[in-house]
Amino acid sequence: MKAKKTFSLGLILIISLLFLSWPGREPAASSAPDDRLDGCTVIMVGKKASTDGSVMTTHTCDCGTCDWTWRYVPAADHPPGSTRKIYHINQFGTVPPEQGLKWDVLEKDFTGLEIPQVPHTHGYLHGAFGYMNDMQVAIGESTIGCRKKLENPTPTAKFDITMLTLIAMERANTAREAIKIMGELAEKYGYGYTDTGEMLAVADPNEVWVFEIMPVGPLWTPESGKPGAVWCAQRVPDDHVSVCPNESRIGEIDLKNPDYFMASPNVISFAIEQGLYDPKSGQPFNWKKAYSPTEGSAVSTGGSRVRLWRFFDLVAPSKKFSPETPNMDLPFSVKPDRPLSVDDVMQLTRDKCEGTVFDPARGLQGGPFANPNFLPYGFELEGKRYALPRVIGVNRAEYVTVTQSRGWLPNPIGGIVWLAWGAQDTSCFLPLYIGITEIPRSFQIGDHWVFSRESARWAFDYVDFHTQILYSYAIQDVREAQKRWEKSAVDRTPVIDQTALALYKKSPEEARRFLTDYCLSNANQVIQAWWKLGDDLLVKYNKLWIYDAKTRRRLPLRFPDWYLKLLVEYNKLQPLTAEKEE
């Protein structure tokens, strides 16, 4: 009796999910125990841990409702005495299309603060955050939270994380400079308002750092003379890789070793003041334990905190990290079993814990067509709460970035931002060399609530939507398209590099024009290919059949046996009996 009840509930769940669990659908009021569902995953690769010597960072902008538009800001020179206005920029905020683009209506959120402008500001690419400037300084972001009493939601804090990254893009020549610029501005003018604890991967062609910053409470004022933020940074060893899955990653620090650690002057004293660290305890100061502790492991949280273990298990399986190890006890970084290529990193951003007990497509959860996106959130049932795996590749991403900073090439050629619109599993990474002078108009527009064929993002959502209902079938078509367009772009990179380098030696401007033409042409071709792919998926799987365009035949879907057995059980179906011949 108990088994039959389980089967029945399972089948009801499958049927409900087939029709109700679509991308963009609002989750139920209840949520999983993990309070950072809409977070972002950041991967970092040191130059000696990559196959080609590039330093890499990633960012999965896992919001689901955030503004996804991008902008290219050209380099500029500024006269003496100029000032730079500082705006409050809510990373989660959106603007209805009829009101204009988010980045064109910033004036209404002016903080009242203007800081001295520098003589020259770098050109850079940015979306929700600054991603790379023309010095190959690159950034990836992940929200890590902080202790409640440290939050500062007041407008007294003039800087949020987006504004800090934009200033870093404009002014920094190296990763270390970017960290110091952001840290000093936050200390002087205050940090917080719309943001709490944040982590940034900050990279250049030589190094990649983990930079973490926290507010210092709602009572802070500039007149106090105290820092308006507390921050810490740790360098990832050159032959190591690291990850931040919405959890503070910096543990014990050694400020006597400036080659690997930097921090605000109040990093320890503020923790003591707030009762977050007792120097008399005999224990060394631990940044994450003081400011943003995380409880649990992959196993104990039901997979809601599986990303940290999963990443280390993927890149260094020989270490045999246990999923039962508390996340706070896992290492800051690790030397991978083999160097990672840019393609490896792209695939890591798509990982869904396939083949493990945390695979969201396994059994009932994935439905009859093994869809890992069917039930993206935990749920509450009969007064009990249940967690579900929160994997690296979730289908609520606004976009995903992979940055490459490559020191053996001139900056305009060495820096690449690989951008994939929407969910990783159904999208395609597009190269944007930092030497380009414009981006497609379709990158700069779009909104979650207004469908538009003029917006690049909607082309990828169009494919994603048509993939969900028959995932195990349609994802094969998507992967073929990724091989054709994404893999070919990766393989083509050395040729583009050499062509651009030859032009650069003659004329840097000619090289920039070549890179711009290449990136725009490739992007537009991929976008058109994805619109067509969406059309093809609609035709091929129309009415839940398979329409073969080559043979002009309609074929039935093959449902898995386990699903059919549940159907027989739940609906009490009886097998047909053979008719007797007269």
Q: Per residue in 464-505, pLDDT tens?
A: 999 999 999 999 999 999 999 999 999 999 999 999 999 999
**Distance separating the N- and C-terminal Cα atoms of the chain:** 41
Return the pLDDT at 581: 61
CA gap 436, 434 in Å, rounded? 5
φ, ψ for residue 2, nearest 5 deg: -65, -40
385, two tokens: 């709460």
**192-227 burial string, b = 16+ CB within 10 Å, else e?**
bbbbbbbbbbbbbbebbbbbbbbbbbeebeeeeeeb
Return the pLDDT at 406: 98
11, two tokens: 């089948």
CA gap 54, 50 in Å, rounded? 6
Return the pLDDT at 582: 58
φ, ψ for residue 157, nearest 5 deg: -75, 110
CA gap 504, 425 in Å, rounded? 36
Pairing of strands 71-73, 124-126: antiparallel
On whether the CB atoms of residues 138 and 129 are closer than 8 A, the answer is: no
**20-37 burial string, b = 16+ CB within 10 Å, else e?**
ebebeeebeeeebebebb
Identify the bridge partners of residue 59 per DSSP, sorted by sequence position: 401
* Helical ranges in 352-410 per DSSP H: none
Low-confidence ranges of the chain (pLDDT < 70): 1-38, 579-582
**353-356 CB contacts, 8 Å cutoff, 24+ apart:** 353/303, 353/306, 353/310, 353/389, 353/391, 356/310
Pairing of strands 416-421, 430-433: antiparallel
Return the pLDDT at 15: 37
Q: In which residue are the tokens 């970035």 written?
A: 401
How many CB atoms within 10 Å of residue 254? 10
**557-560 CB contacts, 8 Å cutoff, 24+ apart:** 557/470, 557/473, 559/368, 560/368
CA gap 101, 304 in Å, rounded? 35
